[in-house]
Every structure is written in C-alpha cells, then in structure tokens.
C-alpha cells in the first residue's frame, strides 16, 4: 500500500514491494496457497478511495494462476488482469485474460526464457498500451525458476527480460508508473541472486540498463 | 524525485508464511550495493490498517488468517 501511495503521490516513479505473505490467491472470503490478503487489489481499492486513481493493468507472471485477483476484479472493467498460467481465457470485454504457456516449455524444446518472454510480451504489451492504465502492476514470482517449486526451466535471463518488458510497457502505457509486487518463490539463494538485479533493472531507464 | 522506492520490513526476512524457511534471509543486506545509488531508496513498510483490508475482504477473513497455524 505504501509503495502504491509513493507512486501515486509522485515520490517515486516506480516501486518494488517485498512481502511477508503472498497475495494473488486470496479472494474476498478465502485465502490459501501461501497468500493471506490480496495486496494488489487492496492497493487498487486504496488508491481509488484516497487518490482517485482508477485504471490499473496487471501482469501476473507468478507460476500459478492468480485466482484471487481474478475473482476480486472479474466485474471491474477498469482493471486489466493478464495472467500467464495454464488456462486460456479472455473475458468478453477483453480485460481479463489467461494465456497458456506454450507447449515448447513443457516439451523442453527451444529456449524457455525466450519462449516465456515472447509469450508475456504478446499477452500484455499491446493490451496495456490500448488500455491506458494510470498504474502498471507486475506481480513477480520467481517460483518458475529452475529448481524452485513452480519450475518452468526459467533462468535469471527471463526475469531480467520481464523487468525490461514491464518498464517499457509502463513508459508507454502509464507514464512510467510501475509497481512491482513480489509473489512466489521459495529459495533463499534465488531470492538473493535475482531480486537485487531485477530492482536495479526496474529502476533504470532502458538506455542505462 | 527518487526514481525507485524499495518497500521492505524486517519481518519479511524472518520465517515467511510464503515459504518453508526464510527466503529473504539475506535482505536487506543484499540491497546494500544498490542503495549506494541515490536513485534507489529503501522504505520501511508500515502496517496496513484493517480498514484497508476490509475494502476488499470479508470481515471473517482477518480472524481466519490470524488463526491459521502456518
């Protein structure tokens, strides 16, 4: 919430929010999947109530479907929610989208990092640009990294590429305003190796990266 | 204007609900090199009041979460 406020008030252009528990599996009256309260949707409600900010575009690249976030935003046309997961779905108004991972990831053919990045870009970049959110949100889990519990064969290259994608989309769609919220991922070594360079990449202009 | 705010609380580096163990055990120390750059600023997360949670969640969720053994 404080990170979202910091962006809304202009103190920061971008923010990275660490967490103590996950958020995207928490719905109105249920929780689980290591998630307690839906941090992203609470931030949206808070910014609407206190700052008058209305439109939000979320890309969820945690390894698992953001079911709580989807349930809470299903009837909200001012939230674009794109989730890269196992499902294939688009709501009639196009604001709720599930994109399945390409079979190449599971077959082990091709470069998993490149396949995932291409999928994320195709799923989110044009949709977010057309949606024109006030704030772009990246729900970033590293559980899809090789050796973590959602292993999709991904490496740091993929997550750094996603950071570049999100800064580019935020620059084009929401005036640079980008909130990144940490999601899943369990390994200390991966957290330590991945998170600082991702924050660095998020905080720099593309020309500086 | 600071470009990048990094929002963190030391409680996140203790045992995390999200994981088995302490996935953020190396933080905030792991951010030290980054924080030498004035474009990055570390901010301590304040506690979110229940009223913010209740904008989204049913009141029954808060006691249910607090009673969860994890």
pLDDT in tens, A124-155: 999 999 999 999 999 999 999 999 999 999 99
Which residue bears the tokens 């990144």? A180
- Closest residue in B to A2 (Cα) is B45
Find out whether A42 and B52 touch, Cβ atoms under 8 Å.
yes
State the angle between helix axes of A112-131 and A156-173 in degrees (0 to 180), rounded to the nearest 10: 10
- The structure's pTM equals 0.94
Instruction: Give the chain A residue whose CA is nearest to the CA of B11.
Output: A20
- ipTM beyond 0.90? yes
Determine the residue of chain B that is closest to A142 in CA distance.
Answer: B23
Give pLDDT, residue A208. Answer: 56
Handedness of CA B16, B19, B25, B27 (dihedral sign): negative
Distance CA B67, CA B70 (A): 9
pLDDT at A163 over 50: yes
In chain A, helix, strand, coil percent, each to 5?
A: 40, 20, 40
Query: Three-class SS of residue B8?
Result: strand
Band the pLDDT of A205: cuts 50, 70, 90. low
Q: Do B2 and A192 touch (CB under 8 A)?
A: no
CA dist A141 and B18 (Å) reads 11
- pLDDT confidence tier of residue B1, bands split at 50, 70 and 90: very low
Closest CA to A185 of A58, A20, A62: A62
**Candidate from A30-34, A105-109, B11-15, B62-66 with smallest mean pLDDT:** A105-109
Percentage of chain B lying above the pLDDT 90 cut: 66
Chain B hits for A13, CB-CB cut-off 8 Å, are 1, 3-4
Mean of the per-residue pLDDT values of chain A: 93
In Å, how far is A32's CA from the nearest CA of chain B? 9
| Closest CA–CA distance from residue A110 to any residue of chain B (Å) | 30
Q: How far is A188 from chain B (nearest CA, A)?
A: 4
**DSSP SS3 for B5:** strand
């Amino acid at each position: 919430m404080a990170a979202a406020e910091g962006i809304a008030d202009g103190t920061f252009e971008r923010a990275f929010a660490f967490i103590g528990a996950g958020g995207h599996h928490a719905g109105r009256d249920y929780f689980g999947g290591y998630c307690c309260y839906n941090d992203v949707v609470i931030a949206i409600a808070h910014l609407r109530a206190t700052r008058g900010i209305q439109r939000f575009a979320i890309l969820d690249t945690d390894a698992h479907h953001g079911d709580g976030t989807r349930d809470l935003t299903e009837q909200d046309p001012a939230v674009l929610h794109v989730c890269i997961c196992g499902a294939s779905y688009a709501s009639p108004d196009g604001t709720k989208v599930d994109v399945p991972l390409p079979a190449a990831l599971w077959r082990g053919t091709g470069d998993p990092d490149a396949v995932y990045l291409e999928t994320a870009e195709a799923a989110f970049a044009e949709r977010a640009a057309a949606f024109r959110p006030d704030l772009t949100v990246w729900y970033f889990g590293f559980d899809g990294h090789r050796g973590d519990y959602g292993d999709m064969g991904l490496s740091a290259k993929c997550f750094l590429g996603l950071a570049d994608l999100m800064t580019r989309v935020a620059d084009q769609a929401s005036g640079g305003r980008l909130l990144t919220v940490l999601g899943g991922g369990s390994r200390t070594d991966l957290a330590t190796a991945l998170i600082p360079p991702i924050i660095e990449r998020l905080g720099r202009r593309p020309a500086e990266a | 204007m600071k470009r990048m705010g990094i929002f963190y609380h030391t409680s996140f580096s203790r045992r995390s609900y999200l994981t088995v163990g302490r996935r953020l055990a190396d933080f905030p120390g792991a951010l030290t090199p980054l924080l030498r750059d004035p474009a990055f600023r570390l901010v301590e997360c304040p506690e979110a009041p229940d009223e913010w949670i209740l904008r989204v969640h049913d009141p029954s969720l808060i006691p249910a979460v607090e009673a969860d053994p994890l």
